[in-house]
Structure 1
Amino acid sequence: MSLSMALPEVFLGGGEVTEGVVRVGDTVRRPVRVSTPAVHALLTHLEAVGFDGAPRALGVDERGRQVLSFMPGESVSRPLPPFAVSDATLVALGRLLRRFHDAVEGFVPPPGLVWEDGSGDDGEPEIVGHCDVTLENVIFQRGVPVALIDFDLARPTTRLFDVVTTLRHWGPIADPVDADPLQRGLDVGARLRLFCDAYGLAPRDRRRVVEVARLRFGRSYAAMRARASREGGGWARMWASGAGDRIRRAAAWLDAHQEELERHLF
């Protein structure tokens, strides 16, 4: 698809891995990856079923970059604004993730598509999850989370794994030393319960939240170390900045607080 490059390019910061992301008018241009055809198939499905909380796939421009619709609003980064850690935001985010999962449930990926590697649950994949609902990958309008962006790490997984990945950042399931100052005084157990209630997580899955979080930490550590060595770039910078140490501290914090968290979840 050939699109005009007459409009100026505005650099979009915030991403830790993907470089060269710019806004051109009402579109976003991102480097093409091996997983781009798979991600565009996913976004096309979401558009077809009427899910409005994700960008639209618009093809490839003259420079070989993928073209996506620009999602109006704002993302958040550290230091976090107060609305980002509110209970209302957590509830709205839980409902947004559930709407996304329900919308993608009927998606049958065409054969031959390649997804990005990443950690996952041991269960049989149920959906194609976002798998990277970080603070920076949620779009807010008037303080309300309305959309998910940056689907580069989307891949087949379980609903629970995508929930746990989201809670890793938004609970947060982390050592307070690595959290934003506004997150350090939060009741994480109560927040996990609030999110799971808003999402409508089944009781059988609630019983596995801590188990899957622990599994994710171990596998994420190995996966990030491997990608930092193999791919360099943003992955290497994240690893050099202490990503592995942060994962290990989060895993230790989870072990120390397991009983407290499970009292809220069950």
Structure 2
Amino acid sequence: MNSFTYVESSEPHPEIPLVGGDVTEGVVRIGGTVRRPVGSNAPLVHSLLRHLEKVEFPGAPRFLGIDAQGREVLTFIPGEVAGRPRPAWIADEERLASVGRLVRDCDNAAAGFVIPEGVQPSRAFSEPPGMPPAPPYPAEVVGHMDYTPDNIVFRDGKAVALIDFDLAKPTTRVDEVANAMMYWAPLCDPIDADPLLREVDVARRCRILADAYGMSDVDRSRLVEVFTLRTRRAWFLMKQRAEERGGGWARMWAEGIGDEIKRREAWLDRHGTIIEAALTAA
């Protein structure tokens, strides 16, 4: 038995299936724990979660080890998550602000994390031909980078915890906030937004997130540039993951995520100046 082997409780508990994200299947709850398949990014994720536990960040699950079936064992975080169909509160601006604060608090807690020697972020893919360059800004923090409504736990109307750290990687604070804005503003063509978010003031919601996070003036001025570049790259990355990983990635591609990304890029070209003006207004 090694230090990562999870010792089961003597009290038996049933396996209760939980709704996974877009690509993760086989997630279950057993008592006060969650069991998930071990992903390709697990060494980094486990190291980051241990760091967040060490600094007593309350907004992330604790990594408890690997069970006898080879699954990750994490603490279960009680609360509500915006599943599908989305709840009416998805548009609530107080909840939106709490998302920005939670992202900030997680980034601040992760700021002292040093990736252990020998642990590398998952880099299963080389960059496909023709993919545009990445934004020219160095990584500042190992961020969550997957702030979908499915991955944020709320209690008493406030965002209190993050789950599903599978996409964690070295990134910038601008990328972290832009990722949250993509799902919560939302930064997309309204045709692709949830019906409850199609009539909202997207620029205002971006400003609420930026203010709640406490974005610097420099980062606010970079956000549209960074998100536009990330969107252009996303089409190539999603296509490659669909072709090489299959599973949920292939399903999303077949359902039209590539077309959705192209619509988002066109929408940003039309509305980017409005978003930037809202973010940088005194």
Letter in 1 for 2:241: R
Q: 2:212 maps to which residue? A: 198
- Alignment partner of 1:248: what SS? helix
Mapped partners of 1:9, 1:215: distance in 2 = 42
- Alignment partner of 1:207: what SS? helix
Q: 1:71 maps to which residue? A: 77
Letter in 2 for 1:103: A
Q: 1:99 maps to which residue? A: 105
From 130, 146, 150, the equivalent of 1:136 is 150
Check whether the contact 1:127–1:157 (CA below 8 A) recurs between aligned residues. yes
Q: 2:191 maps to which residue? A: 177
Check whether the contact 1:116–1:152 (CA below 8 A) recurs between aligned residues. no
- Alignment partner of 2:170: what SS? strand
Mapped partners of 2:118, 2:218: distance in 1 = 33
Mapped partners of 1:237, 1:170: distance in 2 = 23
Evaluate the alpha carbon distance shift between residue 9 and residue 122 of structure 1 in structure 2; reply closer, same or farther with a 3 A threshold.
farther
Check whether the contact 1:14–1:77 (CA below 8 A) recurs between aligned residues. no
From 209, 221, 229, the equivalent of 1:207 is 221
Q: Does 1:186 align with 2:186?
A: no
Mapped partners of 1:249, 1:171: distance in 2 = 16
RMSD: 1.5
Structure 1 runs (4+) greater than 6 angstroms displaced:
none
Map 1:1-12 onto structure 2 (within 5 A).
1-4=5-8, 6-12=12-18
Q: Deviation of residue 3 (structure 1)? A: 2.8
Map 1:144-155 onto structure 2 (within 5 A).
144-155=158-169
TM-score, normalization by structure 1: 0.96
Once the two structures are aligned, what percentage of the paired residues are identical?
50
Q: Deviation of residue 50 (structure 1)? A: 1.1
TM-score, normalization by structure 2: 0.91
Q: 2:271 maps to which residue? A: 257
Mapped partners of 2:28, 2:136: distance in 1 = 36
Check whether the contact 2:141–2:170 (CA below 8 A) recurs between aligned residues. yes
From 164, 171, 183, the equivalent of 2:178 is 164
Letter in 2 for 1:62: A
From 23, 26, 30, the equivalent of 2:32 is 26
Map 1:224-235 onto structure 2 (within 5 A).
224-235=238-249
Evaluate the alpha carbon distance shift between residue 8 and residue 88 of structure 1 in structure 2; reply closer, same or farther with a 3 A threshold.
same
Deviation readout 1:134-170 (Å, 9 max, x if unpaired): 1110001122211110000100111111111111000
Structure 1 runs not aligned, ≥5 long: none
Structure 2 runs not aligned, ≥5 long: 128-133
Mapped partners of 2:13, 2:265: distance in 1 = 46
Check whether the contact 2:88–2:196 (CA below 8 A) recurs between aligned residues. yes
Evaluate the alpha carbon distance shift between residue 125 and residue 2 of structure 1 in structure 2; reply closer, same or farther with a 3 A threshold.
same
Mapped partners of 2:36, 2:181: distance in 1 = 26
From 86, 90, 93, the equivalent of 1:84 is 90
Mapped partners of 2:146, 2:122: distance in 1 = 12
Letter in 2 for 1:90: L
From 235, 257, 276, the equivalent of 1:221 is 235
Q: Deviation of residue 2 (structure 1)? A: 3.4
Check whether the contact 1:84–1:143 (CA below 8 A) recurs between aligned residues. no
Q: Deviation of residue 37 (structure 1)? A: 1.8
Q: Deviation of residue 85 (structure 1)? A: 1.3
- Alignment partner of 1:208: what SS? helix
Evaluate the alpha carbon distance shift between residue 89 and residue 230 of structure 1 in structure 2; reply closer, same or farther with a 3 A threshold.
same
